[in-house]
Amino acid sequence: MRLATAAACAALAIGASLALAQTKPDSRHSGYQDMGPALQKMQDDDSENPGMLWVLEGEALWGKPAGAAGKACADCHGATAASMKGVAARYPAISPPSATPVDLEGRINLCRVEHQKAEAFAPESRELLALAAFLGRHARDMPIAPPDDARLAPFTDKGEALFKQRQGQLNLSCAQCHDDNAGKRLGAAPIPQGHPTGYPVYRLEWQDMGSLKRRLRNCLIGMRTEPYAYDAPEYVELELYLMKRAAGMKLDAPGVRP
């Protein structure tokens, strides 16, 4: 009888813990929430957000024929890009003909090479960022939703391992800053949780637009380690993990950050 009572109490305790976990408020917050009111206003107002210049350029590129095929993005996906709503929230993904995951910029270049028969855009080129910002704008306020694709699991696991791996002369990991010390300050700047909600972003420090890959490279340099080449798979693996970590959070691209 006592055993049955103990088992019942244990079951109740487990049920209560699960219920508490399910109702526990989400403690995640984006870099947008770390900013002051002035920068938030700059991002919120499309007439003040510098990233909208890239969005407008991306809109023009969307309808512009390119390459030997003489095709525009609009020829396949529609002039208004309505079919692309939310796509930016679902990358990286495995996109044929690639058998490995690609980020949004990688998917743009795959289309350019395979369907437009044109040269791929250079990393961080204005054209590539413009199209990425244009697609990001079509996913604004939508939740990050990594694909439910079992093929991505090993790549996401590699990204998580990289996020937690100490490296560089400072022997630091991404997790030490963005998990263990988020909310504290590094000099005058708050340490963010590191969620990729606003990319590509216009950073005041850069006075320019940049991809998540550029930000990851900056972090690696700050850790005093050699950054990977722009086409290295490690960036996509890290982004996969970061998107999984931020799943359900809303995209706010094109973002503005300090």
Quote the CA–CA distance of 193 and 179 in Å, as a whole number.
6
Q: What is the mean pLDDT of the chain?
A: 91
pLDDT value, residue 2:
45
Residue 5 lies in a domain: no
Interval 205-232: pLDDT, tens:
999 999 999 999 999 999 999 999 999 9
What is the pLDDT, as a whole number, of residue 13? 46
Whether 67 maps to a domain, the answer reads: yes
Q: Mean pLDDT over residues 175-187, rounded? A: 92
Would 8 be classed as within a structural domain? no
Residue 26: the pLDDT is 86
Answer whether residue 24 is part of any domain: no
pLDDT at 211: 98
* Number of domains the chain contains: 1
- Domain-embedded: residue 10: no
Residues 42-46: what's their mean pLDDT? 97
pLDDT at 135: 97
Which domain does 91 fall in, by range?
Answer: 31-258
pLDDT at 143 over 60: yes
pLDDT in tens, 93-127: 998 877 899 999 999 999 999 999 999 999 999 99
Question: Per the domain annotation, does 208 fall within a domain?
Answer: yes
Q: Is residue 226 part of a domain?
A: yes
Give residue 250's pLDDT: 97
pLDDT tens-place string over residues 1-39: 444 444 444 444 444 444 444 446 789 999 999 999 999
Residue 105 has a pLDDT of: 97
- 19, part of any domain: no
pLDDT of 24? 62
* CATH value at residue 92: 1.10.760.10
Instruction: Report pLDDT digits (tens) over 70-87.
Output: 999 999 999 988 999 999
